[in-house]
Every structure is written in structure tokens, then in C-alpha cells.
Amino acid sequence: MSETVQMKEQLLALKAEALDVLEAVGTPKELDDLRVKYSGKKSALTEILRGMGKLSAEERPVVGQVANEVREAIEEVINRKQEHFVRAETNARLQAEKVDVTLPGRPLTQGGIHPLNKVIEELEDIFLGMGYRVAEGPQVETDYYNFEALNLPQNHPARDMQDSFYLTEDLLMRTQTSPIQIRAMEAAKGQAPLKVICPGAVYRRDDDDATHSFQFHQIEGLVIDKGIRMSDLKGTLLQFAREMFGEQTEIRLRPSFFPFTEPSVEVDVTFTKKNGERIWIEILGCGMVHPKVLEMGGFDPEVYSGFAFGMGVERIAILKYGIDDIRHFYSNDMRFLKQFSRI
């Protein structure tokens, strides 16, 4: 038997053996082992092809053609089985990772506006509707704007009513939003009319309890023009009270003292308790702007007059929503805050 015939028979026998074994392979590991056995560098096919050097130039193409057909047939089966294993693995992974789209979705948590911000926005809307504009100022203030320009010079006894957070001898965390009024007056350069509200956080050294906090919020108002009277102040506050608490609300003014207003009054509103009892509750302080404050703000007190008022936002919110402890506003308790998400 010639060398050529013998090599062709070996190649065909190898093909038949490889195809039978490869068709029966059951795992990717077995397939990798058989790939090395039948088509690797040390495979039987490679050993047979090494004998082609003994063939003549005419015989080599014949054996080479058979060898290529055998190699292609083996690689075709290997590739087909490899694709089969890849698809099977992918399908198994997809099956394991599939999402049941029939399950109810997880709702996204929706935030809401903090109740204090709700009240501030409502207060701003009320006074914007009366022709006021919103003015803002720094929370770290100078002693001049926080006290002296408001007719509270050094050693004035009324300063004891506002135990303050001083940062330096001249700088402190503002104890009221009144400094914004002085800055607004200076910006107006003595030209009226001036109508502003001044919302913002204020700070006083106080022990926290159900009705007190070292930090709280105020909204103060200021009106300056010719011929401003106490009756204008009362009418403004009555309008505010009825828009905030209801059309049946009444107010009363009680004489009081503030260094920056003269005359000064405390304002009470009617409030209905849960048992139906109707009582008076204090909500703010106000009065006619003191002539010295007008003068320090750049206005001639012989020509202009004005009124000012200030209220605590927390107090308004407590009355409006029936809250029993100011600390709820700052405790970050979601059970409390969620009650206001739909208001």
C-alpha cells in the first residue's frame, strides 16, 4: 500500500472517530479537551500531516486536500457544539435573572415642602398681594444693624431681652429680621413709598422646649410713606389674619413697648380650641416706626411716617396646623413631616 493511500485512510478514520465523539460530547469542558485532542498542536491530525514530507510533489496536494476537509469537518462540529453550549448558558442565565413584570412596582418616595416653608410662602403671597416686595439680608449681622440702628444703643436694657450669639465684638447671628428693614431703608435713600416684608431665620441663646428654640423664623414688615397712620397698620393686620386663619378671625391691639416703634402694640387673634371655646392668642408685635429709626434709615421723620410688624413663622404654623411642640419642626421625624405632604 502506497504512502499516499495509507495517509488518506488514516485521515478518514480520524475524521469518523472525531465526529462520533464530538457529537456525543455533553459539557464545555469535554469539548475543550477534544478540541486539543483532534485539532491541537499535538493532535493525531498534526502527527499525520507531519508525514507529508515523505510524499512526492504530486502526492502532497492530494493528501493536503483530504487533510483540509478533515480539519474543516472537525472544526465545524466543534464550533457548532460551542455555539450550542453558549446559547444554553445564556438561556439558563436569563432564566435565572428574569424579572416578573407582573409584580407590582415599587413606588418612588415623593418629598414635600416643609411646613415652615409652606407658611412662609403663604405669608409672602398674602403680602405680595397687598403690594409689598420681599427683601433679604445676611444672617451674620453687625451690631449696628441688629441693634443701634433700631434705637438699641450699647447698654440699652432691652438688649437683655435678646441673649445673642456673638461671633466677634461687632458681629453676631441676627436676633431678628429687623436689620433687613434698615438696609431696605438705606437702599431707598429717603424716597417713599417703601413696602417690604423680611422673612428669614434668626438666632437667640435660648433653651429648647415646647415653645422655644435657639433658631426660629420671622417675617417682619415695613411701610413708610407720607400720612401713614395706626389705622393703616390695623387694617393691614386684620386683612392678613383673615386670609391666614379665616374670614371670621378678629384681632385686638394691646399697648406694649418696643424700642424701634412708638406707639407699640401686641396683636392677638381669635382662636377656636378643640372644645369649641373661642380665645385670644398673641401672634405678633408691631407699632409706628420710631422717629429715630426713620432718621437713622435716611428718612425725614417730619415728612414721613411708617409702621412695622414682626411675627414668628413657627407660631403661625403652630396655630394654623394645631402643632403642640416647636421641636417637631426640626426633629426630621418623617411621621410628622408626611402629614403636610398634601397640604
Give the model confidence (pLDDT) of 199-211 as tens digits: 999 999 888 888 8
User: What was the pLDDT predicted at 48?
Assistant: 66
Query: How is 31-51 classified by DSSP, letter by letter?
Result: HHHHHHHHHSTTSHHHHHHHG
User: What was the pLDDT predicted at 47?
Assistant: 66
Gap between the Cα atoms of 321 and 233, Å rounded: 26
For the full predicted model, state whether its pTM sits above 0.75. no
Whether the CB-CB separation of 147 and 156 falls below 8 Å is answered with yes
Gap between the Cα atoms of 141 and 186, Å rounded: 15
C-alpha cell at 214: 435657639
User: What was the pLDDT predicted at 158?
Assistant: 65
Whole-angstrom CA distances from 316 to 77, 319, 321 are 83, 5, 9
Q: For 322, which DSSP code? A: T
User: What was the pLDDT predicted at 160?
Assistant: 67
Peptide bond into 107 cis (omega under 30): no
Alpha helices (H) along 189-290:
230-245
Tens of pLDDT along 229-268? Answer: 999 999 999 999 999 999 999 999 999 999 999 999 999 9
**Ordered strands of the 305-312 beta sheet:** 133-134, 194-203, 215-225, 305-312, 278-289, 261-272, 251-258
C-alpha cell at 339: 402629614
Whole-angstrom CA distances from 333 to 209, 212, 217, 318, 327 are 17, 18, 19, 16, 10
Name the maximum alpha-carbon separation found in the chain: 136
Tell me whether residue 122 is annotated as binding. no
User: What was the pLDDT predicted at 162?
Assistant: 67
Whole-angstrom CA distances from 276 to 47, 231, 279 are 107, 31, 9
Closest CA to 137 of 49, 63, 52, 196: 196
C-alpha cell at 186: 438705606
The H or E element containing residue 305 is strand 305-312
Gap between the Cα atoms of 49 and 68, Å rounded: 10
Q: Which residues of the chain have pLDDT under 50?
A: none
